[in-house]
Amino acid sequence: MCDTCGCNITDANQHLLKPGGKFYRTAEGHEAVTVLKGLLSENDHMAMHNRQHFDRHGVLAINLMSSPGSGKTALLEATLDAIDKGLRVAVIEGDLETENDAERIRKKGIPAIQISTGSACHLDAHMIHNALHELSLDDLDIVFIENVGNLVCPASFDLGQHLNVTLLSVTEGDDKPSKYPVMFRASDLMLLTKIDLLAVLDDFDLDHAEKNLRKLASTAPVIALSARQQTGMNGWLDWLQQQRSEQIERCRQGHTRKPVIQPDGQRLHAGMQAP
Amino acid sequence: MHELSVCQEMMKQVMQIAAEKNASSVDCVTVHLGPLSGIEAHLLKQAFPFAAAGTVAEQAELIIKELPVRVHCQQCGADTDARVNRLLCGECGDYHTQLISGDEMLLASLELSRKDQEASYV
């Protein structure tokens, strides 16, 4: 429809143009503007900028999300111990308060930037942008972003990462993907953590957890591990190496990658083209 | 929750458009939301007056259109209704589906008042 001939005036909105209607012409004119842009387009713009920044330096950025206490920092500690020492890694830590997690990472000799969000329940692209000013991306291969422990809000904010990894510890219940579909649908990889505790838990079934993920139409791989016991770590480390190789190849070809869930419905309704 | 952050981000866009259109006030803001956006409609409604306070949209009405969850099956090709935690094909039950509606968080349209001349319809 055009803006000039009136073909956008339908039976449904005609009353608005009559006296008393919202668009009845007065000295003080009304205008209806169609926008159809994402509510978070400011954040998304900054996220795109961050992603370009990572790509220019050939860095792979991975966003770790989970509920509090599911073992994100412990996983990073175990990963830093076991990962190929040729890989240069940095960590951005998001927490409401304290430098505790960043200090745990720094003890491994790895650069860590702590973002204290105050009362904010998630990281956003602007916070990551500021943190990137403190990192020398030329000297890095992988940046892990440890998001605020929260299975709700972090899923809605693009940070500029290439991949989302969601942790589900076996103490939390295998129905978490059904309870928090927005979060688990956004996962490129689901890690089932603390499996050393399965011996004392009779109510967590690894297969059920995966089935609940599949019900979200997710084809993401699932890896079960224990960071504390260093079991199952090879699958995770192999996945990291694979993703690192793919990122190098993408950067060579001038491509990039966004986390697995594209806002399909949003794109369709906004009439946007597929990327 | 994060609805206030989302609302504040949205207000940046609203104010930018209002300024471009030389609007004296924003009368109505229409948003499209799907349940898989992670944004709760009633919380967004509550956050809106706080985000809009002191702006040209202070008096604006926020209209939220909630969209259904629907999937397209990549196996059998059917488009069916689904639930947020059960995005399987309603016809054949396969999980290789693509969401075609339900994750929207869109600023759909604005209604503006202008000080200057006559109205135009966009």
Give me the residue from B36, B113, B120 closest to A182, CB to CB: B36
Distances (CA, A) of B51 to A60, A252, A259, B3, B97: 35, 43, 29, 10, 37
Q: Does B10 contact A263 at a Cβ distance shorter than 8 Å?
A: no
Percent of chain B with pLDDT over 70: 93
Predicted confidence band at A119 (pLDDT cuts at 50, 70, 90)?
confident
- The minimal CB distance from A34 to the residues B28, B117, B122 is found for B122
Please tell me the predicted confidence (pLDDT) of residue B60: 96
Contact B113 A30 (CB under 8 A): yes
Span of A1-5, A201-205, B69-73 with lowest mean pLDDT: A1-5
- pLDDT (tens digit, 9 = 90+) per residue, B7-37? 999 999 999 999 999 999 999 999 999 999 9
Q: Which of residues 232-271 of A touch B (CB under 8 A)?
A: 261, 263-266, 268-270
Q: Do residue B36 and residue A40 have CB atoms under 8 angstroms apart?
A: no
Q: Quick one: pLDDT at residue A40?
A: 87
Task: Give strand pairing partners of A65.
Answer: A166
Is residue A9's pLDDT more than 60? Answer: no
pLDDT digits (tens, 9 = 90+) for B35-48: 999 899 999 999 99
Chain B: closest CA distance from residue A82 (Å) = 35
Measure the CA–CA gap between A208 and A67, rounded to whole angstroms: 19
Which residues from chain B sit within 8 angstroms of residue A263, using beta carbons?
103-105
Cβ neighbours, 10 Å, residue B98: 16
**Of residues B31, B87, B100, nearest to A39 (C-beta):** B31
pLDDT score of A5: 42
What ipTM score was computed for the predicted complex, to two decimals? 0.78
List chain B residues with CB under 8 Å of A31.
21, 23, 111-114, 119-122
Average pLDDT, stretch A146-158? Answer: 92
Higher pLDDT, B116 or A47: A47
A38 phi, psi to nearest 5 deg:
-60, 145
